[in-house]
Amino acid sequence: MVACWFHDPDSQHFKNHLPRLLDYLWLAEDGMKMQGYNGSQLWDTAFAAQAIVQSGMAEEFETFLKRAHHFFDITQVREDTPGGMRYYRHISKGAWPFSTRDHGWPISDCSSEGMKGSLAVQTLPFKCFDNKISTERFQDCVNVSLSFQNPTGGWATYELRRGGAWLELLNPSEVFSDIMVDYDYVECSSSSVVALKQFQKLDPDHRKEEISTAIAKGIKRIKQLQREDGSWYGNWGICFTYGTWFGVEALVAVGETLENSPELQRACEFLLSKLRDDGGVGENYLSCVNCEWNDSKEPQIVNTAWALLSLCKAGWRDQEPLERMAQFLMRSQESSGDWPQQLISGVFNKTCMITYAAYRLVFPIWALGCYRMRILSGHFGN
């Protein structure tokens, strides 16, 4: 917009930008805020849909899932950017963006979570949507996902890794870390692996060998990213509870269990080591900045939900700590059904924190639902 204004303040190109400024503003409990995107609509909707389905509440919230499915349908990117190769744009046909179709940029984890959310709804035993997203469109998403995998086996965000870490010496920013190269991230790698694994159930023959190889390489890379203490560093959420949840999801998706996976065992032991007497878990933004665990003053609802969700997915059999976590989440819920907004829970590039207002709702629901479905009912594992 600034470039258009500099070129010609009276141009139609500049005027076309003005109405879209409102897309970046939102009114929170503590005042007006400016976003780095035009929202996180797809991201939040994908998590919410999976939370409802995996919590066993699909029939009760059929209307919500029908509307979510419609949003998945209209938000998928249906064509590549014109002249994309000329401008070094990655393929985008079949991807899902972070927010809306207008945003349009293909992102590895958003594409995967979009596919996971869509498949979660479409595989329900009752019809809660008008038109299914075709297998061919999911194939397009898989093609994007496979194209995003780095030779290391991991996935970055917007592009393949195109240089070494030495390029960070040229980082012109005084604020952000690790912005010169797109690195392998546990979150992107996990989302991609899980989505590819789920797609295999829908269409076992599409690029069969490539998908199997990609999953195996992805799991190997995820294990390499695990830290000595059993955790994974969270690059897009605060912090180790977030990253560890993604690591656990990937391992469970490929059939690893506490009995055959030392990585899964260590991850669970790490999370349990952070459990407080009141059943809560909490870390603050300094975990991201310092790359080591920093306790929050008060236990955090979202961190606790990520920890409980991880332990439930892994099938941790000692119910006592899980019960304490579940009780903490239930005690923290307000009479309205909401949970209070606590410390900020999102981050990018280690130093810039992001508010995800939906997290305080989505993840406690998901964690409690998973606890009810998997632990109380005895359905351990995936």
Catalytic residues: 109
* Residue 202 near residue 138 (C-beta atoms within 8 A): yes
| H-helix segments, the chain | 2-7, 12-17, 41-54, 62-75, 108-122, 135-148, 186-202, 208-225, 240-253, 262-273, 286-290, 301-314, 319-332, 359-370
Helix or strand or coil: residue 195? Answer: helix
Q: Which of 306, 285, 280 is nearest to 352 (CA)?
A: 285
* Residue 198 near residue 131 (C-beta atoms within 8 A): no
Q: Which amino acid is at 10?
A: D
Sign (positive or negative) of CA dihedral 237, 238, 239, 243: negative
Which residues, in sequence order, are CB contacts of 129 under 8 Å at separation 6+?
Answer: 65, 66, 69, 70, 121, 122
Phi, psi dihedral angles at 32 (to 5 degrees): -75, 140
Q: How far apart are the first and last CA of the chain?
A: 47
d(C-alpha 250, C-alpha 214), whole Å: 13
* Residue 367 near residue 316 (C-beta atoms within 8 A): no
The kind and range of the H/E element at 347 are strand 346-348
